[in-house]
Amino acid sequence: MAASEDRQKASSCELQDEKKEPAQNDFTTDSESAKATLGASEPGPAGFPPAPDGGIRAWLVVAGAACIFFSCLGFMNSVGVFQAYYMSHQLRDHSPDTVAWISSLMSFIQFAGGALTGPLFDRFGSWVIRPGAVLYIFALMMTSICKEYWQFMLAQGVLAGFSMSLLQVPAFAAVSQYFDKKRAAALGLVVSGSSIGGVVFPLALSKMLNGTSLGFGWSVRIMAFVITPLLLFSCFTVTARFPSRKTNFFIPRAFTETRFIMIIVAAWCVYIGMFMPLLYIPSYAISRGIEPTLASYLLAIVNAASTFGRIVPGILADKFGKLNVFGTGALLTGVVVLCMNSAVSTAGLVVFSLAIGLSSGSIISGASAALSICTDDPRNLGTYMGMGMAVATTSILVGPQVAGVMIDKYGGYQQATIFGGILCLAGSFVAIATKITTPQGLFGRS
């Protein structure tokens, strides 16, 4: 009788283990040890305990990730200041589209590198942030001593871009592991760090470059000194919640999923339209007769407005659906971009800057939140986000260059704004259409 009872208990345990099989997107073999490490609580997606959606540790991860985005994407938001300065100083003999390749390459590698750094985070945890922080400070110091075009391409374009990818995608993935119901709001708070940086860096750089005798080298080095303690804080606070997975560095099956592909296509189109005004608004303002220092301040206005445009849509996305808010934000961004060439006065440019900041604020965090719904296994979030962003951000290699060629050929910005605005609208329609692939359907809160 005892042997029979033991066999029945063993059979019952096997059945329970079968019920806890990972979801379709779980390609790992170490799930049981991970669950044991996390403790016995009510299982969430893929059989793991649900995300805490708060607590000291979770909010410290958010704070550390926000510091990363302040330092990286916030600095990248000042590329318009660099673009205008390079065109009138070190690289004045180069065309606008040629100079734009520096920031475009940096932006592309910054996100495309996630195809490598996302899986690295899933396999090895947050240690990848530490070499990224060291490389990033080194890249800024090298940029400060550059004089030739190829030097800017290597230091600012390649090295800074790659070091940013070691920081940003792992930060996104770490925050996503700690939040489920409040994920979009948490990611919005993280990306709002870039908005604050996008206010600080353009104002500080513009003042130092145009209003002091510091020069280019010391202006950039001072920014690096400001960033250093923030990244040091991030190295200690941004940690992974789940034990790393040991198999499948990449998940190629993701590219057979319709939802994943459609979100990538939507983000690809929207990024072209969104980055065009961020890069060219200072030079556009100067072409309208605005003083260079004031023209650079417009980027600070854009990023100040995008702080609200990133936090509020994140809260709304958790309530009304991530794809709903991402698609709506893309639609509004497209409309605003189409109006750029109509802003001809200082007041008009300020209003445009506020509008583009508010409307485009949800795009980066919105795309990442949308990609996070493509997998049920939180251990695969870094890989899905990294692979998705890597493909989507190839558009950054297209948009600014095409816009620069149009500006150079036609001697104005009208064609470039139409190009960016239409592609932004196309991306919004694809994002909304992606809802068909969700269980909630086209009219649901997905």
| Model confidence pLDDT, tens digit, residues 308-347 | 777 777 778 777 888 888 899 899 999 999 999 888 888 8
Give the HSE-up count for residue 214: Cα atoms under 13 Å, Cβ half-sphere. Answer: 18
R_g of the chain, CA atoms, integer Å? 23
d(CA 134, CA 163): 8
User: Any idea what DSSP says for residue 48?
Assistant: P
Domains of the chain listed by start with CATH number: 52-239+253-437 (1.20.1250.20)
Dist. CA 136–CA 72, nearest whole Å: 9
pLDDT band per the 50, 70, 90 thresholds, residue 425: very high
**CA dist., res. 359 & res. 421, Å (int):** 12
Spatial separation of the C-alpha atoms in residues 72 and 239, rounded to whole Å: 18
358 pLDDT more than 90:
no
Crossing angle of helices 363-372 and 183-211, rounded to 10°: 150
Distance (Å, rounded) from C-alpha 366 to C-alpha 327? 9
Q: For residue 116, give the amino acid letter.
A: L
Average pLDDT estimate for 271-281: 82
d(CA 250, CA 127): 19
Are 292 and 210 within 8 A, CB to CB?
A: yes
pLDDT at 29 over 50: no
For residue 32, pLDDT beyond 90: no
pLDDT tens-digit map of 99-150? 878 887 888 888 788 778 877 877 777 788 889 999 999 999 999 999 889 9
How big is the CA angle at 190 (ends 115 and 199), to the nearest 5 degrees? Answer: 110
Q: Which residues, at least 6 apart from 363, have a Cβ–Cβ distance to it below 8 Å? A: 267, 270, 271, 274, 326, 329, 330, 333
Higher-confidence residue: 66 or 44? 66
Give the Cα separation of 320 and 309 in Å (integer).
16
The amino acid at residue 262 is M
Q: Residue 58 above 80 pLDDT? A: yes
Phi, psi values for residue 20, rounded to 5°: -95, 15
Distances (CA, A) of 140 to 109, 136, 137, 149, 375: 15, 6, 5, 15, 36
Binned at pLDDT 50, 70 and 90, residue 290 comes out as confident
pTM score:
0.69
